[in-house]
Structures are given as structure tokens and as C-alpha cells.
Amino acid sequence: MSTVVNQGQSGHIYLQAGKILTITPDAAAVGRARCGSINDALTASTPVSYGAYSYQTEWFIDCTDGAITYSVGEQTQDQILQGSGSAVAAGTVDLRGVYDASVNTFPATGGSGVNGAILKGDTWKISVGGTLGSVAVEAGDVITALIDTPAQTAGNWFVTEKNMGYTPENAANKVTSVSGASTDTQYPSAKLAYDQLALKEATANKDATGGYAGLTLFKINFKNAANTITNFFTNATTVARTWTFQDKDGTIADLVDVATKLDHTGKATGAAAAAGEIGEIMTSTIAVGSAVSLTTATPANITSLPLTAGAWEIRAVPDANLGAATITDFQAGISPTTATFGAQDTSIKTPLALTAHTDAYGFPCPTVIVNLAAPTTYYLVASATFSAGAVGGFGTLEARRIAMA
């Protein structure tokens, strides 16, 4: 039975548990539906439903314009299946009954949409078998629309067969051993599983550290990324050994790598060490005939050596060539700065008292040890204080590598 609420009126109803309240505003209606915290505006010509609650509720339907009709009814089968008084949600399974598939076409009407339009989720149980979209179905199978308006496209329907099950294992295909001739249709027997497990290394063979003492010439198999090359890491020791791998990433070096990386690499045969090896020697000698002319009391470069990074021991033998010179002192040393004497204890200054003297003299010079983080040039620097004649500087600068960078 329906009740009409006209403009300016209010309807009142107690909705019993499990019942459905349906409200239908007319085309000119303006109003509200109220129940507890619910206070919904009613839209003209748009029916709404409330209810199927597990308890009694009290409702008020207010009409401020037009007319609003409401009625109380029972839940539909769909609403009962879903456990609520709401309409079936779009896309969920909606049971539409049985379907005779002997016409050999999918359902074209009887759906949950307007005028029976078929919507996603509409489902039928086949009552008479047939062929739907080249798929054979039989009584008891179930078909479900996967999209709205699926038409006769088989891919738009899902078929659930009533006789889905499994095919029993073929005992004739059971095997108790495997080989390269084994096929994908064969089944492993319990004996095969037992025999294969028996081949594994026995736990009893483990030693106190968890390793297997019984393994001889054990090889670890390494494949390359393309799985086309196999390499082996083998153990051929003759006495007990223990290897501990560090907890870090890295690349294992071979003999060639080690030879170029170890700081103590050198020559034990008497041969000259190559560039970069411990013991490498660099030498520069200026002969007396190529002596560098000196200006009184002015440091000048006699020669130099470009040294690479690493630890070096540098020594020098500076010489002075006097040509009718009246000289009072001679200074020479090793320095990383051009035409400049270095730090304390890297040079020597010798007093002289020679007048109009001609001869060549060699002087001692301190040895310098340096540790270079980057390439650096070292110089043999010399100066003389003289008032007449000429003074030339010559000699040898030598460096020996004592450690790598």
C-alpha cells in the first residue's frame, strides 16, 4: 500500500526490521527523508530505497513542493542474496534464473538493466544444453556477462562448467628413474623420489663446522650471464685448509692483478725495475761541459725530475765549476719549487775563500724522502756568492721509488 505526501505535509512511519522503505518523488517534488542521523534530500523523479535493517526504525518524509509517494515492502531475492536491502551493485553477480541454450545464442534480454538490458554480472544457469559462441554448454553450466551489453561475443561471457574436476594420474606413465629420454607426460613414483633423496650427501658426513669432510676435489660451478660458459672453482689442497671470505663486495684478483697492485712488488733478479715497480730509478745528470751559468747569490735550477705518485728517496751530487772565480760560498739542495731552496735539511751551504780560482768541486747534499699523492717535479737547485770570474753548476739528481702510491 502506498502513501502520498503532498506539498507542506510530512509523512511518518515505523519501518519494521527486514522491511524495505521505497520513496518515489514526482517530477516537481522537493523534500527530505529523515531517520536518526540520516537527512537526505529527495531528488525529483528519482526513487530511493532504505531498510532491511535488523531493527525497527522511525522515518519522516517531508514534502515542500510537489508530491512524494512512499511504500513499505519485502526484500527482493537479489537483496536477500546480498544480505542487504540495497539494489545489486553494478558489476556484481546478479542471478537471473535459468536459460535454455538450445537456441545456440547467448541471452539477449532478461538482464538486470532497463527493459531487461544485460549488464556486467548478470548470471544464468543453463537448463538445456547448446552451443554458445562456439562453446558447448550443458545443463548445469553457468554463464556470466563480463561487460555491459556483451551481445553474442564469446569473449564477453564467462562459462563455468558443472563437471570441472581433475584427470586421475595415469599409473602406466609412472617411472622409477629419470634420464635425458624422460618426457613431460611421465609421473615420478615414490621409489624415484626415495632413490633421488638417497643420492644426497648424508648429514652424518658433516664435520663440526658444518662442512662435508668427505668431498674430494669438490668443484663449484659458475655460469656466465648468457649461460653459455661453465667455469669451475676447484679444491686440490693436500693438507687441511680454511678459507674465510670477507663480508664485502669485490672482484677476486688473479696473479696478474696482484703483480700490479702489491706495494712490495720489485725485482729479485738484479734486473732494473720497470716504471711503477718498487726500486724504479730515475736519474738526470748535467755534465761539466753543460754547466748552468750562475748569477751571484741567485738560486738557479741545475736539473729536474718529474716524479709520479708514491714514496721516493731523492739524492743529489751538486758540482761547481770555477773559472778564475773569487768566491765566498756555494749552496745546493733538493726542492719541489723551481729555482728556490726547499725546507730545512734539504740543502747544504759551504763557505769558500778562493780568489781568481779555476777548478771543479763536488759537494755533499742531504738525501730527501718524500711521499707524493700526485705527480710532482723535484729540482736540483744551486747558488754561489762570487765577485769575479764565473761559476757554473752541474751534477746529478737521482730518485728511487721505495713504495707505491
> What SS3 state is found at 114?
helix
| Residue 56 sits in the same domain as residue 146 | no
pLDDT, position 103 = 94
> What SS3 state is found at 386?
strand
| Residue 19 sits in the same domain as residue 123 | no
Q: How confident is the model at residue 115 (pLDDT cuts 50, 70, 90)?
A: confident
pLDDT, position 16 = 87
Outline where DSSP puts E strands in 146-185.
Answer: 157-160, 174-175
| Residue 35 sits in the same domain as residue 133 | no
Give me the number of domains the chain comprises.
3
**Could you tell me if 126 and 138 are in contact, meaning their C-beta atoms sit under 8 angstroms apart?**
yes
Question: In this structure, what CATH number is given to the domain that contains residue 49?
Answer: 2.60.120.10
> What SS3 state is found at 310?
strand
As given in the structure block, the three cell numbers for residue 188 are 615420478
Domain annotation covers residue 375: yes
CA 307 to the chain's CA centroid: 43
Q: What is the mean pLDDT of residues 87-91?
A: 50
**Could you tell me if 13 and 2 are in contact, meaning their C-beta atoms sit under 8 angstroms apart?**
no
Q: How confident is the model at residue 213 (pLDDT cuts 50, 70, 90)?
A: low
| Residue 317 sits in the same domain as residue 385 | yes
Kindly report which listed range (16-25, 120-129, 140-149, 296-305) carries the lowest average pLDDT score.
Answer: 16-25
Q: What's the number of CA atoms in the CB half-sphere (13 Å) around residue 265?
A: 17
Q: What is the mean pLDDT of residues 295-303?
A: 97
Beta partners for residue 42, in sequence order: 31
Is pLDDT above 60 for 90?
no
Kindly report which listed range (170-174, 239-243, 312-316, 342-346) carries the lowest average pLDDT score.
Answer: 170-174
Amino acid in the structure at residue 267: K
Q: How confident is the model at residue 395 (pLDDT cuts 50, 70, 90)?
A: very high
pLDDT, position 144 = 93
| Residue 69 sits in the same domain as residue 146 | no
| Residue 288 sits in the same domain as residue 394 | yes
- Compute the distance between CA of residue 41 and CA of residue 175 in angstroms, rounded to an integer: 74
Q: How confident is the model at residue 312 (pLDDT cuts 50, 70, 90)?
A: very high
> What SS3 state is found at 101?
helix
pLDDT, position 164 = 65
CA-based nearest residue to 22, from 94, 64, 75, 90: 75
| Residue 32 sits in the same domain as residue 127 | no
Domain annotation covers residue 266: no
Domain range spanning residue 310?
281-403
Nearby residues of 80 by Cβ (< 8 Å), 6 or more positions away: none
Angstrom distances, CA of residue 229 to CA of 121, 157, 226: 54, 50, 8
Q: Pick from 55, 82, 109: which residue ends a domain?
A: 82
Is pLDDT above 80 for 82?
no
Q: Pick from 82, 111, 127: which residue ends a domain?
A: 82
Is pLDDT above 50 for 156?
yes
> What SS3 state is found at 18?
coil
- Express each pLDDT in 271-296 by its tens digit: 788 888 888 999 999 999 999 999 99
More confident residue, 380 or 247: 380
Taking the complete model, does pTM exceed 0.75, yes or no? no
Is pLDDT above 90 for 352?
yes
pLDDT, position 342 = 94
pLDDT, position 88 = 47
**Could you tell me if 335 and 379 are in contact, meaning their C-beta atoms sit under 8 angstroms apart?**
yes
| Residue 37 sits in the same domain as residue 128 | no
Domain annotation covers residue 136: yes
Domain annotation covers residue 102: yes
Q: Cβ-count burial of 316 within 10 angstroms (0-12 exposed, 13-18 middle, 19+ buried)?
A: buried
Kindly report which listed range (62-71, 96-105, 127-136, 160-169) carries the lowest average pLDDT score.
Answer: 160-169
Domain annotation covers residue 99: yes
- Compute the distance between CA of residue 2 and CA of residue 68 in angstroms, rounded to an integer: 10
Task: Give the H or E element holding residue 255.
Answer: helix 255-261
Kindly report which listed range (23-32, 52-61, 96-105, 168-177) carries the lowest average pLDDT score.
Answer: 168-177
Beta partners for residue 48, in sequence order: 23
As given in the structure block, the three cell numbers for residue 345 are 735539511
Domain annotation covers residue 218: no
Q: What is the DSSP letter of 190?
A: H
- Compute the distance between CA of residue 23 and CA of residue 70 in angstroms, rounded to an integer: 4
| Residue 327 sits in the same domain as residue 396 | yes
Q: Pick from 82, 114, 131: which residue ends a domain?
A: 82
pLDDT, position 208 = 67
* Percentage of the chain exceeding pLDDT 90: 51
DSSP string, 200-250: SPPGGGB-TTS-BTT--S-EEEEE-TTS--EEEEE---SS-------SS--
- Express each pLDDT in 31-81 by its tens digit: 999 998 889 999 999 998 887 776 788 999 999 999 999 998 876 555 554
Rounded mean pLDDT of the chain? 85
Domain annotation covers residue 268: no
Q: How confident is the model at residue 211 (pLDDT cuts 50, 70, 90)?
A: low
- Express each pLDDT in 230-250 by its tens digit: 887 777 788 888 888 888 888
| Residue 15 sits in the same domain as residue 44 | yes
Is pLDDT above 60 for 210?
yes
| Residue 17 sits in the same domain as residue 58 | yes
Nearby residues of 301 by Cβ (< 8 Å), 6 or more positions away: 292, 338, 339, 379, 380, 381
Rg (CA), the chain: 52
Nearby residues of 277 by Cβ (< 8 Å), 6 or more positions away: 265, 266, 267, 401
Angle, CA of 370, 375 and 381, to the nearest 5°: 60
pLDDT, position 86 = 44
**Could you tell me if 297 and 382 are in contact, meaning their C-beta atoms sit under 8 angstroms apart?**
no
- Express each pLDDT in 257-272 by its tens digit: 666 655 455 566 677 8
Question: In this structure, what CATH number is given to the domain that contains residue 356?
Answer: 2.60.120
Angle, CA of 16, 50 and 84, to the nearest 5°: 85
Domain annotation covers residue 141: yes
| Residue 12 sits in the same domain as residue 115 | no
